[in-house]
Amino acid sequence: MSLPTVLVVDDDAPVRRMLQRTLAAEGWEVRAAADGGAALAAVEQSVPDAIVLDVAMPGVDGLAVARRLRGKGLATPILLLTARDAVSDRVAGLDAGADDYLVKPFATEELSARLRALLRRGRAVPELLAFADVTLDLAAGRGTRAGRDLELTPREAALLALLLRDPRAVVTREHALEEVWGGELEAQPNVVDRYVAYLRRKLADPPLITTVRGVGFVLDA
């Protein structure tokens, strides 16, 4: 079984290294970023199981990072680190999309315990499907490609989910009708082709959905 992954984001290098050592010793696979921009790029490349995010950073601060990630539909647990403990600061962090809040200085044992608690909530594995540079949040029905929102309808999101669940495998028109349209009598095979065309336009280039003549469609890069 692979280790759970955590992304540590802090512009203070000694703190960042300390967190890396501590969490690695606790059984985490640790990745690190020194600022908000690097954190967003790291998540775009690979979604972690949890994020430890410092609030006060130059440029894109922790609150902005949390808001952007939540705006993209990312459900990964976020634990904020901050030197401020006023109620207004905690409220701002939670409103930005954080799941928990830890005030500096803190005991590393408490940080580890809070992360374990977040994992137990079942949010560490987001309802997220991904292939190449496409992601789809199943709960929100929100998709992105290379960070760009796709603005999907519920049917389009369901069809994209079907393709994403088993990329490079052919999805037949009949299977799509059953899964996306529930086998509705009025839903004819050409409705699948129409919705595939809608998805292709929204996904844009380079193309990812290939037609398998007489059979159906396949998602491939």
Show me where the domains of the chain are located. 5-120, 128-219
Q: Output the pTM of the full model.
A: 0.56
Q: How confident is the model at residue 208 (pLDDT cuts 50, 70, 90)?
A: very high
Architecture of the CATH domain 5-120: 3-Layer(aba) Sandwich (3.40)
Please state the separation of Cα 63 from the chain's center in Å. Answer: 17
Fold for domain 128-219?
Arc Repressor Mutant, subunit A (1.10.10)
The reported pLDDT for the residue numbered 124 is 40
pLDDT tens by residue, 81-118: 988 877 777 788 888 888 888 888 888 888 888 888 88
Position 185 pLDDT exceeds 70: no
CB 141 within 8 A of CB 58: no
Q: Do strands 78-82 and 50-54 pair parallel, antiparallel, or not at all (unpaired)?
A: parallel
